[in-house]
Amino acid sequence: MGMGDINTWIPFDIFVTLLILTGILVLLVIIVYLIKYLIDNAPYAYVNARIKSMEARLLDDYKLNELIEAGSLVEVVGFLEDTDYGRYISATSKDVYSIEKGLDMHLAHVYKTLAEISPDRSKKILKLFEKKYDVKNIKTILRAKYVGLDSESTFKMLIPLGTIPENKLRELCEAKTVEEVVNGLEGTEYSKVLSEKLSIYEESGNLISLELALDKYILEGLWKVVGIEGFNEDIFKEFIGRMIDVENLKVILRCKGEGVSSDVILNYLLSVGYELPPWKLKELAEAESMENIVSSLEGTEYSNIISGCLEEYEKTKSIYVFERALDNYLVELGRRLSLRQPFGVGPIIGFITSKEMEIKKLKIIIKGKIEGLSARDIRELITT
């Protein structure tokens, strides 16, 4: 045995000691990681237990099929009375507005409940989701005044939740014109965003500039809140970023279908997103056909979704086929994110997307029954 071999040889007991110390160090690293994980996710234990209970009450395919096959709207309403929607839908409801209002009231209370029981880190985001009902109410009032509806009929269509007090909503319903509604919002956070677009409305006579301005305002607010790095909100960032991408795509597709110029389209888009940066949005807005839009989306997660709908679009010329596929994508994304972070904020996202899709399907079924559509036609409208 040479001198070099003697110098590099380590006694067995020292080797075992080093091995044990290395094992302890690795174990400590794992323990620290687990403690951090538990600290990060422990605040979500209660909310996720509540969500499991709420998820168990979602309508499965069998129940939805029962609703589709129902012989009348009365049957549909009767069925819903035995679900979570029962307290929001009257047995005497026969018109689409009162039933849809009941569904929206239920969803608004879901958001309110989630915001109340969630940890502070998610509360701010869920509070912004609640503001969707401010936007929904303002849009309803604007549309009502656009067609000359009286104050009482207008107020009946509102959801008295959100941040705008009920007495303010009643006051807005008293307005006679769209301009009066916008002026009546002075002092609220929605005043500036609508005032800036009022001249476009007056030139075009179309409410779309005002409605999209409200949507942009809420989504930009959500994006700003999820801009915080290094927290559980990161998973919300992907969800909201992709939600913004989807909204931008819907606007582009809708406007292209109606022959709106690219300059006007760009005014309607949010200049933020997850996978569609401003230069890509400009390229999409300037695309000359649906096929060009598909080509421009190559390499993104949205390429297959849009290309898969082209054939049906060519047959129907309805943008709805794209919108339905994009909505379904968001539900699937919610499920994926829920599995990625099952003990943190993931289940909140998964449940929100599933509940919103359920209500969209219920609205389609209800409208289908009122319009006398067959079960087959309704089924086609709610499935991909």
- Residue 299 token pair: 């390499």
* Residues whose CB falls within 8 Å of the CB of residue 263, separated by 6 or more in sequence, listed in order: none
The tens place of each residue's pLDDT in the chain, 384 residues long, gives: 444 444 456 676 776 677 777 777 766 666 555 555 444 555 677 888 888 899 999 999 999 999 999 988 889 988 898 899 988 887 656 677 788 888 988 998 898 888 888 887 777 778 777 788 899 999 999 999 999 999 999 998 888 778 898 899 999 999 999 999 999 999 899 999 999 999 888 888 889 889 989 998 988 888 888 775 444 457 888 888 999 999 999 999 988 888 888 888 888 888 888 899 999 999 999 998 888 998 999 999 999 999 988 888 888 888 889 998 999 999 899 889 888 877 777 888 899 999 999 999 999 999 999 888 899 999 988 875
Residue pair 185/141 in contact (Cβ under 8 Å)? The answer is: no
Give CA separation, 284 vs 50, 213, 236, 268, 329, in Å: 42, 20, 26, 13, 19
User: Residues 299, 303, 308, 311: is their CA dihedral positive or negative?
Assistant: negative
Neighbour count for residue 147 (Cβ, 10 Å)? 6
Element (H, E) at 299: none
Secondary structure (DSSP) of 17-85:
HHHHHHHHHHHHHHHHHHHHHHHHHGGGHHHHHHHHHHHTTS--HHHHHHHHH-SSHHHHHHHHTTSTT
Distance CA 96, CA 364 (A): 10
State the pLDDT at residue 184. Answer: 94
Determine the pLDDT at residue 47.
81
Q: Where are the beta strands (DSSP E) in the chain?
A: none
How confident is the model at residue 1, as a pLDDT? 43
User: CA 82 to CA 66: how far, in whole Å?
Assistant: 13
Q: Which of 201, 289, 285 is nearest to 250 (CA)?
A: 285
* pTM (whole model) above 0.85: no
Q: How far apart are CA 62 and CA 303, in angstroms?
A: 32
Angle between helices 120-130 and 233-257 (to 10 degrees): 20
* Distance, CA of 85 to CA of 83 (rounded, Å): 5
